[in-house]
Structure formats: structure tokens, C-alpha cells
Structure 1
């Protein structure tokens, strides 16, 4: 699942590769008030009702997180002392999310971020920090971390008046703006979050560099990462209706071509890869998920298929939801890969409090299960490894964040092996031969002497 954001303007033009421009700190938005930029309303009729969930009775460790070996990772850190902001569709209060910090609502006036009609944000928060309970395999990656919730988007809300010409059967437009995302990031950083999880994206078919809203977003991520030392983790986006054009894979016929030159879908906030760790998805076997939008900004990967997490409608757990047309949707997408990485970031920050946000990101990437080429645009530096991130020494430098082109190289011809040194053998053989010769000559010389001094029968 991916959550789409609207920048509030039309987007058109031919795509061309472009890195983020220099950030203007003067565009940094205020974090207050935490209120929607427009008057909003919930959709009417059945399509305005909150989504239902599919409860799960699974007691084993979910397939999606078996590879993480969290029980062993918890021997080194459980995320104590870490505040993780979830900027999403809201987080519903749940007994396995104690001390949930309600930090504001940019969707509904007067809200505090603890309504989650879409279910999405509660699933994300559970993956990060759900406490461990006896007899239940599922638990959050950092069960001693705390969650700060800010609702910033919802598919069940829309701008006020947008439903006037719709029937009760029509879906709401959805609500969430890039400008309010920038404000939410600023707010989370100012409230002391050490990690910010953003499991939503804005996909644009042309460079957003000139748009004011994206300038504010760039200023916000820089402010959080540099001024407030926050680890920002974002989903890479799904190749669905929101990011359907995707991006091409590396061209084997043009191995030296930069992937920035082939971008046709800009994924934000992942585009600001100097400050944001973007997460692709892998399946239970560690293979890249087909829905991940590849890009030169992708930094790491985590499980994003077959997800189980907290149930936004009960006190239990859930593995899917139903939309208001009764369609079942299992939890799947880069949206759910990102919180696994956010959870590991909380573990690392708790164990190594002296590390800066940049150093934490580098540690996560350096200790990931790397692909053969070192980096690729689907899974970045590889699948996150909590135990390695908490225990390994890391190299000073990572491979370049581009696919390395193949190159030919003449290998040196190995030098001929030196002839064997048989001196000792030869000396031994010569000495043995000399002794044998002397003995033989001595034996032969003894025959005339014996004949000279010997007696015959005629002498008797």
C-alpha cells in the first residue's frame, strides 16, 4: 500500500533526471499549529466509514519478520529511550502501544492524531514498537521505544465541499498535502523524535525542484536531519496508481549511464536522499518485491509482504483490511518495509547514543545483506540486518550509490615458478655414490693381496 500526497498544483511536462537542488533553509515551515491547511470533511455514505480489519490468530513469529531474528537482536538493544514519530494516517490507541504520544492532526480540525480510519498508521506503529506478549510471535522491532503519532493524510477525507457533486457511493478524494508533510516533519523534530517514519510518498512525473511545497519539504528534512539529528526513514513507493509509471531498471547496454539520467518518476521525500533513508521491499525469501519503485535514492530494504501487525479495531493483531466495497487487502508494500528499518534505527540509537543520524544510516546500510553488485535501485545496499547493525564493525566507506558498470581488465600473467632446488638431494646422492665407489675399490684391491699371502695344497 502507498499513500499519495497532493502538492496542490498541476504536474506535467517531460521527465528528466535531476538531483535535488540546494536547499533553502528560509522555506522551512512552522510546525504549529497542527491543523489541516484547508477545511476538510469525511466522505459521505458507506465510503466515508472507517475500514474494517481482518483479525489474525497467528501465534508463531510472522513469516515477514523471521529473517530479522529479533529475539537475538534484543539481547543487545530493545530501543529503550527512543521516541519514534509516525507521520501517517494516525495511530489508534492499543494496549501494546503504551505511552502513545498524540502530537497533532493535519487532516481533521481538532484531532490529535489518534484516529486511524485507514488502519495504515496503526500497522506501521505496531511494526516499530508493539510490546512483546506471552504466547504471541509478533512484536515490534523496538518494543521499548515510544510512538509519537501525527496524522497527515487519509484516503477517507477530502477538502470541504468536494463531495457536493458526488453520490454516497463515490470514493472521497483523499486528503494530504506536501506542505503539511513538511510541517509535520518540523513538528516531530521539535518534539524530540529521534527517528521519523514516513510511510507515504508523493510521486511526480516531472522534477518538483521549482515547486514551493517541495522546497519546504527539502528544508524540513534538512532541518530534522542536520539541526535536530533525526534519522528520517521513508518508503520507496509502490508501482501502483500513485507511482504507476515507475522508473526503468539499469540498461545493460549502457552500463555507465547514471540512473539519475533516466528518472521519470520522482518519489518524495525519498528524492532528498542526502537526508532521508529510503526503503524498498523484499519478500520472505529476500528477493526484491515486484512493486518497489526503483530509483537512485533507494538506500536499503526490509520485508514488505505478508505483514502482520496490530489491529486498529481490536486489542489483537491483524494481517489485512477490507475497503468499503468489501475488498480484502493484505498488508503489503514499501509502506510496511520502512517501519522495520525505523525500528532497527531505534535499536541502534539506543545502543550507540553517541552516533549521529548520518552515522546511524551508514551503519544500517553497511551491515545490510548486500546484493552481488553492492547496491542496486530496488533494495539499495541490501536487506536490513538488526544483529549485524548492533554488533558489527563498519567500513569507513560504502560502495557508490549507483550500479557499477562492468569493465574489462587484463589480468597479470603469473610469473613462472622457480626451478626446484635439488642441492641437498644432489649432495646426498654424490656422497652416497662416493662412499659406494670407495668401498667397491677397496674390495677389489683386496683380491691380489689375498693371493700373494695365501697357501695352496702343494705347500703341505
Structure 2
């Protein structure tokens, strides 16, 4: 690779499968890990809005991601937070090779992992709370960087994930389009790994254009929406966008203190994580689904914009209930319309974790049949100190 590349901040994770290798259960980090800047002890007492919007609890009787391994290529993932305890395997660390991926000095990777597979703690839960996380650390922090070694590490990370049993790869980052990156993505897809990546946070800027690896064929590219169902301004638009998910005011577990932190600025990092969680639910329900079938299920059952597809949210906001219960539908045709995307937001349930809703989904099933650098929050989010704890 020649020239300097530009780092952006958002979020995304990627996974690849090859010959499965038995990995050790979580143990203390192997080397010193400074998490003093990302220590929070605040609890989550109200259900986060993305959980009210997506209502994954409705499909937990069908799948919670059991047996599914999700590779998180990011800033590392803590194994010490109560919501991630027992969920994080020993992985790979390209920042400090004496470590095993379970050191996160930025909090980004841990929040991504929590969104995907966090165990219930207070009012917080991941989308697929019984999936496991394979952490692969390629960045120490969320600063913009021109370190030419990072793109190569991302390539290696994809291959490592594929060779170590990943079923899903979450890539909340963007990196230069190179033959090596494309080959690594194809390698993982060829081994049956579902790859989800952030669409990027260059929305409305001169740099807006296809982001990689999100724009590669076979990768599920994810845009962000806010609590009102509107396209997040910083979320990159384009015909490569497949679907959208919550991408603003997202919170998750922090590396130290046992608390939770929130990224208020809009972006696509955590939007990608929500879709990776949905992919884990689908793989848990039917491990035989191919990457293409998982992608088709997610896109065809999303809450489509009026025109079926547009460049801001793709086929629309993902819908876990329909994805796991509706008989496969045809994917609407891409029309690349530049129309504004204000999606209809369903009324949030009073208690999304209520037992009555669980009973309702079981009844519905019975009767109805059935996307170099981390894209951390917005470009304005430079440091882990920018994290704001939900008090």
C-alpha cells in the first residue's frame, strides 16, 4: 500500500471462519492494561432506546445466539465487566502482542461487544445475550492515525477470525480499499462467515463515498438512525448501504468500574454492532444459513422506507422479530433514491422485557409461520474521554 490513508471514527466489527480452534475461557489480561480513563460505575436503570426500538426480547424464545462466536475487530474487549463476564474468549492483540485481545484502553470495543452479546445487567442487555465474543485488538485508542501498519493488521485480523471459528465478524471501522483487504473478506465469506461493517461517518462531507470493507459485495453495510428513526447526519450515504440500526445515544459496558458509558454523537459504529447481534440470533436459530442467506433475511425483513430502498438507510431499519419469524421474502429492488429517510417508529412497549410479550411472540410464531480505523461515534469523538456516562 502506498500513500497516507485517512482514519475516521465510528464502529464496526468483522468475523471469519476457518478450521475452528478451541480457545481458552476468559482469564485476567496477560499484560498491563491502563483502563483508568474509561472507568465508570454508573448503572443502567432505564431500558436503552435501541432495545425498545428493536425489541430483541421478543425473539429470545427462538434464539439468544447460543453457540455463535462473534469476532470483534476493534480496540479490544474487556472480560471483567459483569455484562461481559464469561462471554469473552482469549483472542489476538496486534497492539501489544503479549496480550490476548482482552485489553481495551478506549472502551469502544467493549461497548461494541456489549451491544452484540452483553449479558443482562440492570436494564441493559446485548441483542444476542448468549453469543460469545472473539476479541481482536487492532487499535489502542480512537484517535485519527496514519500508521501504515494498521491496515495490514486489519487484514490479518479478518483471517485470524476466520481461522478461529468466527461465525460473524463485526467491523466498526473503515480502512483503505486494497487487494489484500478484499481478498481477506472473500476468504472469510468463503468459509461461511457473516461480515457486518459500519457504513462510515463521513455523511455530508467532501469525503463521503463508499467505505471499506462495508462496500464489498457480501458484506452487510450498516447506516445509523436516531431515536426518532431519522438518518443520522454523519452516517455515510450511498448505494452500498444495506440496512440501518440505532446509531446515536448508544451505551454499553466500560472496561473498568462495572458501569456503562454512552456515545451521544451519531455514527455507524454501534449501528453495525446491533446488526451483528441480529446475525448472531439468526445463526443461533439456524447454523446452516449461509452469509448470503443471513444478509437476505436481514434486508428483506427490515422496516423498508416508502420507496423500498434509499441511499441513506438502504432497505431500512432492521427488525429482529420479522427476521426470525417471517417466511423469507424477496429483497426489494435498489432504487438509490436520495429521498430523506424518516422511518416510522413503532410505539415502544411499556416493558420490553415483560413476560407477556414473550408469550405474545410464541403465539405469533405458532399462528403466523414466519459492515485505517475505528468509526467511533462521530468525527468529533476523538478520545475515550469523550465518552459520557449515563447518570
The TM-score with structure 2 as length reference comes to 0.73
Q: How does 1:352-371 map to 2 (within 5 A)?
A: 352-371=286-305
Of residues 75, 80, 96, the one that matches 2:83 is 96
2:258 pairs with 1:315:
yes
Higher relative contact order (CA 8 A, sep 6+): 2
Q: How does 1:228-267 map to 2 (within 5 A)?
A: 228-239=191-202, 244-247=205-208, 265-267=209-211
The TM-score with structure 1 as length reference comes to 0.63
- Local SS of the residue matching 2:250: coil
Q: For each residue in 1:72-108, what CA deviation from the matched residue of structure 2 results, as whole angstroms up to 9, or x when unmatched?
A: 1212211101000000000011232214112111122
Q: List gaps (5 residues or longer) in structure 1.
A: 1-6, 13-47, 158-170, 209-213, 248-264, 321-329, 406-460
Contact 1:152 1:176 in 2 (8 A): no
- Local SS of the residue matching 1:268: coil
Contact 2:210 2:240 in 1 (8 A): no
Cα distance between partner residues in 2 of 1:220 and 1:130: 28
Q: What residue is the counterpart of 2:184 in the other structure?
A: 220
- Local SS of the residue matching 2:196: strand
Contact 2:196 2:276 in 1 (8 A): yes
Q: For each residue in 1:389-445, what CA deviation from the matched residue of structure 2 results, as whole angstroms up to 9, or x when unmatched?
A: 00011224431363399xxxxxxxxxxxxxxxxxxxxxxxxxxxxxxxxxxxxxxxx
Q: What residue is the counterpart of 2:93 in the other structure?
A: 105
Of residues 185, 193, 200, the one that matches 2:158 is 185
- Local SS of the residue matching 1:60: coil
Higher CA-based Rg:
1
Q: What residue is the counterpart of 2:277 in the other structure?
A: 343
Cα distance between partner residues in 1 of 2:140 and 2:106: 6
Contact 2:311 2:338 in 1 (8 A): no
- Local SS of the residue matching 2:234: coil
- Describe the shift of the 1:11–1:68 C-alpha distance in structure 2 as closer, same or farther (beyond 3 A): closer
Q: How does 1:433-448 map to 2 (within 5 A)?
A: none
Q: For each residue in 1:342-385, what CA deviation from the matched residue of structure 2 results, as whole angstroms up to 9, or x when unmatched?
A: 00000011112221111001000000001111111111110010
Q: What residue is the counterpart of 1:142 in the other structure?
A: 128
Cα distance between partner residues in 2 of 1:381 and 1:331: 23
Q: What residue is the counterpart of 2:60 in the other structure?
A: 74
Of residues 334, 341, 346, the one that matches 1:400 is 334
Cα distance between partner residues in 1 of 2:42 and 2:149: 30
Q: What residue is the counterpart of 2:247 in the other structure?
A: 304
Cα distance between partner residues in 1 of 2:282 and 2:50: 21
Q: List gaps (5 residues or longer) in structure 2.
A: 7-33, 340-391
- Worse overlay, 394-403 or 300-309: 394-403
Q: For each residue in 1:265-313, what CA deviation from the matched residue of structure 2 results, as whole angstroms up to 9, or x when unmatched?
A: 34111121x1210100001121111110112211111001111211221
- Local SS of the residue matching 1:85: strand
Of residues 93, 97, 111, the one that matches 1:123 is 111
Contact 2:87 2:117 in 1 (8 A): no
Cα distance between partner residues in 2 of 1:156 and 1:191: 26
Contact 2:4 2:146 in 1 (8 A): no
Of residues 170, 173, 191, the one that matches 1:197 is 170
Contact 1:373 1:404 in 2 (8 A): no
Cα distance between partner residues in 2 of 1:9 and 1:177: 14
- Local SS of the residue matching 2:184: helix
